[in-house]
């Protein structure tokens, strides 16, 4: 298209030059000049569009190359190493997980540990806690331990606790006291309460005590 427009423009200029202004009317001459001007403008527009297309093509090519490099990097990235068994797996009533810092969270259901609204450990719960103590003493003897008390969001009505935070605190301290009584150094274990502030999927799941294995001392 550009070549055709250029040929037309040059042809008009040649005709005007060969015949001279005296052999054609002023109107024809003006019309030829006007058409020539329009052709030049169209040619300039087409050249500008072609330049923009070339620039867009270059941008697309560069972006495609960047994406290809990202894909290659993802394909070459090694698979994350599987977590080693924590040692707490298989203990009755215990759920093992990890927080964002990679610390081990040993969750024990509140209904396993305590009667409703109470902060006194059930006798049956001590079997699971004894197993947890055994793993801590064997594998995590140098680690700090945080015992966290969590509750559901139901308001306190019948029990003697004024708030869920208080109930969570008493339950965490009950577990902490038991761990210390079984040989865990009192200087590396402490308790905290979160009450209802960190709920899980259900109210039952929210009622829990979590024993968090922190970094080494």
Residues 98 and 161 in one domain: yes
- pLDDT at position 77 is 67
- pLDDT at position 6 is 53
- Number of domains the chain contains: 2
Residues 116 and 191 in one domain: yes
Residues 100 and 205 in one domain: yes
Tens of pLDDT along 17-63?
545 445 678 887 778 888 888 888 888 888 888 888 888 888 888 87
Give the C-alpha separation, 212 to 147, whole Å. Answer: 6
- 131 by Cβ neighbours in 10 Å (0-12 / 13-18 / 19+) ranks as middle
The answer as to whether 102 is a domain residue is yes
The answer as to whether 54 is a domain residue is yes
- What is the span of the domain harbouring residue 59? 2-76
Specify the CATH number for the domain of residue 202: 3.30.1330.60
Tens of pLDDT along 80-93?
556 788 999 999 99
DSSP state of 118: -
The answer as to whether 55 is a domain residue is yes
Give the C-alpha separation, 210 to 178, whole Å. Answer: 14
Q: Which of 26, 42, 76 is the last residue of a domain?
A: 76
Instruction: Show the low-confidence residues of the chain (pLDDT under 50).
Output: 2, 5, 7-10, 12, 15-16, 18, 20-21
Residues 103 and 152 in one domain: yes
Residues 106 and 66 in one domain: no
113, 211 Cβ separation under 8 angstroms: no
- pTM for the structure as a whole: 0.62
The answer as to whether 89 is a domain residue is no
């Amino acid at each position: 298209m550009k070549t055709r427009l250029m040929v037309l423009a040059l042809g008009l200029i040649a005709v005007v030059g060969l015949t001279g202004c005296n052999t054609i009317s002023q109107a024809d001459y003006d019309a030829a000049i006007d058409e020539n001007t329009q052709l030049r403008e169209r040619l300039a527009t087409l050249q500008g569009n072609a330049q923009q297309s070339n620039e867009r093509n270059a941008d697309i090519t560069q972006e495609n190359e960047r994406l290809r490099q990202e894909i290659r990097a993802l394909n070459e990235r090694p698979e994350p190493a599987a977590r080693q068994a924590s040692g707490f797996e298989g203990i009755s009533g215990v759920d093992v997980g990890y927080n964002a810092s990679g610390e081990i969270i040993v969750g024990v259901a509140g209904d396993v540990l305590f009667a409703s609204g109470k902060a006194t450990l059930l006798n049956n719960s001590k079997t699971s806690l004894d197993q947890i103590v055994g793993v801590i003493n064997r594998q995590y003897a140098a680690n700090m331990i945080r015992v966290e008390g969590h509750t559901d969001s139901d308001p306190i009505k019948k029990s003697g606790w004024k708030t869920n935070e208080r109930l969570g605190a008493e339950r965490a301290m009950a577990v902490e006291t038991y761990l210390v009584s079984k040989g865990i150094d009192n200087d590396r274990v402490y308790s905290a309460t979160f009450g209802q502030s960190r709920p899980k999927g259900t109210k039952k799941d929210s009622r829990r005590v979590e024993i968090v294995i922190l970094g080494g001392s």
